[in-house]
Amino acid sequence: MQKKEWAEQIKQFQNGPSQELKKKALQTRLLSYGRGVFLRGLIEFSNYCKNNCYYCGIRAGNHHVCRYRLTQQDILNTCKKGHALGFRTFVLQSGEDPWFDDQKICSIISQIKEMYPDCAITLSIGEKSKETYRAFFAAGADRFLLRHETADATHYRKLHPDVMSLENRKKCLYDLREIGFQVGAGFMVGSPFQTIETLAADMKFLEELQPHMVGLGPFLPHKETPFKDFPPGSLNLTLTMLCLVRIALPNVLLPATTALATLSEQGRALGLACGANVIMPNLSPPEVRGSYSLYDNKKCTGNEAAEEIALLQKEVENDGFFLDFSRGDSRVH
Ligand code: 5AD
């Protein structure tokens, strides 16, 4: 679709998806993935970050964060617990933390793979060289999440300091794709200075990249960032964007994000009704969860993971879905 047509669609549903749009998104998801909801165990292993993204609570310039790094042993223990609970995908996420050099990351990947060859490993650790991405893939990583954040270069510069560029972000995504990763792009809805045009550019970019996964949630302000006074993204527009992404990319893996669940009590259920088919419970040790705060009031129950799963199971069953504990690979080729 042309960018102009995307803009028209987004505008039409900017106050929320119609019943019809939701129905189409749900139908699309039922055809590609049925009623299963894939689970990913999220392990936030370091909140150190060298970047200074204006929206993000763990930006280098925030000196109020209590910084932590999990040890390799902590990470493996977390996987062990997750595996016992039935998780078959682990998402290793961190800020861009140079202390975890290529060798350390590769060693973590290969150890997890050795212990759990039946599991998929997703990395979400930011921009690296193609060579480094190759090394991660060779070590056994399967997937990589790197939200593009916005596909409009001018908007990108308003969200990030000059050392970061949309051009490099895109290059990373194409490199990852070429290497053979299942790749996840994505963006926040309602980030400061976003317009219908920049959202239309996001849709165009996703069509072009054809990612395996799309991470999409509302912007939520964090009090220790330059964007502290901007309003949160709209629930309804987020739901519209979920519907549009599901319909445009029928086989994509689409999480109902933590940010969406933080914005609204019904966020997760509404996300599932709009085509989302993935949930990423937090497996990080409870004592560090509070420190990985990208935005204020991030939903983290402090529940033991096992309780969390039982509750989730009930919740998704109420919504007409079931938890699917398989690896849940993308059907995008
Ligand atoms: N609100 C919502 N999402 C955020 N992220 C970072 N900061 C915020 C925020 N304030 C998202 C970014 C990043 C992902 C890990 O979290 O899109 O890619």
55 lines ligand 1 (CB under 6 A): yes
Q: Tell me, what's the ipTM?
A: 0.99
- Residue 243 domain-assigned (yes or no): yes
What order of strands is seen across the sheet that includes strand 278-279? 278-279, 36-39, 322-324
278 lines ligand 1 (CB under 6 A): no
Q: What separation in angstroms does the CA of 134 have from each of 112, 128, 138, 182?
A: 18, 10, 6, 13
Which of 56, 97, 213 gets mutated to test ligand 1 (max ligand atoms within 8 A of its CB)?
Answer: 56
Element (H, E) at 46: strand 41-46
- Residue 159 domain-assigned (yes or no): yes
**Could you read off the pLDDT of 103-121 as tens digits, one per residue?**
999 999 999 999 999 999 9
- Residue 317 domain-assigned (yes or no): yes
- Residue 330 domain-assigned (yes or no): no
The count of domains in the chain is 1
- Residue 31 domain-assigned (yes or no): yes
pLDDT at 308: 82
77: number of Cβ within 10 Å? 13
Which of 294, 295, 297 gets mutated to test ligand 1 (max ligand atoms within 8 A of its CB)?
Answer: 294
- Residue 333 domain-assigned (yes or no): no
Contacts with 37 (C-beta within 8 Å, 6 or more apart), sequence order:
272, 277, 278, 279, 316, 321, 322, 323, 324
Q: Which of 217, 222, 144 is nearest to 186 (CA)?
A: 217
Q: Which domain holds residue 143?
A: 3-324
Distance between CA 184 and CA 179 in Å, rounded? 14
- Residue 297 domain-assigned (yes or no): yes
3-state helix, strand, coil in the chain (%, to 5): 45, 15, 45
**Could you read off the pLDDT of 231-283 as tens digits, one per residue?**
999 999 999 999 999 999 999 999 999 999 999 999 999 999 999 999 999 99
**Could you read off the pLDDT of 34-43 as tens digits, one per residue?**
999 999 999 9
Residue nearest (by alpha carbon) to ligand 1 atom 13: 147
184: number of Cβ within 10 Å? 27
Q: CATH number for the domain including 124?
A: 3.20.20.70
51: number of Cβ within 10 Å? 17
The model carries a pTM of: 0.97
CA Rg, the chain, in Å? 18
Q: Helix axis angle, 3-12 relative to 196-209, nearest 10°?
A: 120
Distance between CA 255 and CA 268 in Å, rounded? 9
DSSP 86-117: T--EEEEEE---TTS-HHHHHHHHHHHHHH-T
If pLDDT is split at 50, 70 and 90, which confidence band does 298 have?
Answer: confident
261 lines ligand 1 (CB under 6 A): no
**Could you read off the pLDDT of 182-204 as tens digits, one per residue?**
999 999 999 999 999 999 999 99
Asked whether residue 303 carries a pLDDT value surpassing 70, the answer given is no
CB 202 within 8 A of CB 134: no
- Residue 331 domain-assigned (yes or no): no
Q: Which atom of ligand 1 is nearest to the CA of 188?
A: 17
CB 146 within 8 A of CB 139: no
Structure tokens at 217: 């949630």
